[in-house]
Chains A and B, each alone.
Chain A
Amino acid sequence: MSFPKSSKYRSKVRIYFDILEVIWREGGKARPTKILYGANLSYDRLQKYISQLKEKGFIVEFKDESDGIVWYELTDKAYNFLEEFRKIQKFMDAFGFSI
Chain B
Amino acid sequence: MVLFRLFGFDAIMVFISSFIAFAIGYYAGKAFRMTSEKLLLYLNLSFSILGVGLLTDGLTAVYAYLALTSKPHFNVGLILVVGNWILSIAEIVAFSLLVYVYVKQASWTVGSFALTPLIFKTYNPLTEMIIIFLLGYISLQALTNYSSRKEANSMLVFIGFILILLSHIFFFLTSTWIGSYIIAHFLQLLGFLSLLVMLLRVNRK
A49–B142 Cα distance when bound, in Å, is 34
Main secondary structure of the interface of A (DSSP, over half): helix
Quick one: which of A2-59 are within 8 Å of B by CB?
A: 11-13
A71–B201 Cα distance when bound, in Å, is 35
Residues of B within 8 A of A70 (CB): none
| B102 at interface by CB-CB < 8 Å | yes
Whether B145 pairs with A95 at a CB distance below 8 angstroms is yes
Whether A91 pairs with B199 at a CB distance below 8 angstroms is yes
| A77 at interface by CB-CB < 8 Å | no
Residues of A within 8 A of B169 (CB): none
Total residues of chain A contacting the partner, CB 8 A: 17
Q: How large is the interface on B (under 10, 10 to 19, 20 to 34, 35 or more residues)?
A: 20 to 34
Question: B142 to chain A: closest CB distance in Å?
Answer: 6
| A68 at interface by CB-CB < 8 Å | no
Question: B102 to chain A: closest CB distance in Å?
Answer: 7
A-B contacts, 30 listed (Cβ < 8 Å): A11-B35, A13-B36, A84-B34, A85-B35, A88-B34, A88-B40, A90-B153, A90-B201, A90-B202, A91-B27, A91-B153, A91-B198, A91-B199, A91-B202, A92-B37, A92-B40, A94-B153, A94-B156, A94-B198, A94-B202, A95-B145, A95-B157, A96-B141, A96-B145, A96-B154, A96-B157, A97-B101, A98-B105, A99-B35, A99-B37
Show the binding face of A for B, using Cβ within 8 Å: 11-13, 84-85, 87-88, 90-99
